[in-house]
Amino acid sequence: MVALSFNLTPVKKEELNVIATEGESLTLACTFETSNNKNAYLFWYKQEVNDFPKFMLQRGSYVPGNNAEEFPKEKFDAQINDTSVPLRIQKLQPSDSALYYCALKPTVTGNTQSLYKNLWRSLKTPMTTAMAFEGEEPSGNTRG
């Protein structure tokens, strides 16, 4: 048995450590509030030790979601509802141990060399999340 450790920083400020067993499935929660929950657009990122956060997947209320190539939907999936977008990870492996971020658009964008912060606040929940994109055109505001 291999114990895997997960850290989670969701849109609502909470920090969780989750321990799971290799081969099992795991669901990481992410809850959010916006002035218009019916039109939410959320992202999941994975950050391994000494690395930048990598885009995993995005889900929107009215748009089809997509997964980054290295995070196939068969292993990493999320379904958005009114106030949450839980991430389901199937067949856990030691390589899945990482810090996972859930982000609500608009948020931070950048490139692999440097990151730029865009702060966004709803009336109730402040949020700051770091993201970087590798080989993809980031959405939102960018600076070269």
DSSP assignment of 86-139: -EEE-S--GGG-SEEEEEESS--EE-SS-EE---EE-SS-EE----B-SSSPPS
**Structure tokens, 43:** 């992202």
Tell me which H or E stretch contains 43.
strand 41-47
What pLDDT does residue 14 have?
55
CA 55 to chain centre: 7
* Per-residue pLDDT tens digits for 121-138: 333 333 333 333 344 444
**Structure tokens, 16:** 């969780």
* Per-residue pLDDT tens digits for 2-23: 444 444 434 555 557 888 899 9
> 30-34, 40-44, 45-49, 139-143 — which one is most confidently predicted on average?
45-49
- Whether the pLDDT of residue 116 is over 70: the answer is no
Distances from the Cα of 45 to the Cαs of 14, 35, 83, 123, in angstroms? 16, 23, 18, 24
Return d(Cα 77, Cα 59) in angstroms, integer: 10
* Per-residue pLDDT tens digits for 64-111: 789 999 999 999 999 988 888 899 999 999 999 999 988 876 444 444
- Whether the pLDDT of residue 38 is over 80: the answer is no
**Structure tokens, 47:** 């950050």
**Structure tokens, 98:** 């990482």
> Smallest Cα–Cα separation from 87: which of 48, 121, 55?
55
What pLDDT does residue 89 have?
96
Domains of the chain: 3-127 (2.60.40.10)
**Structure tokens, 61:** 């209320």
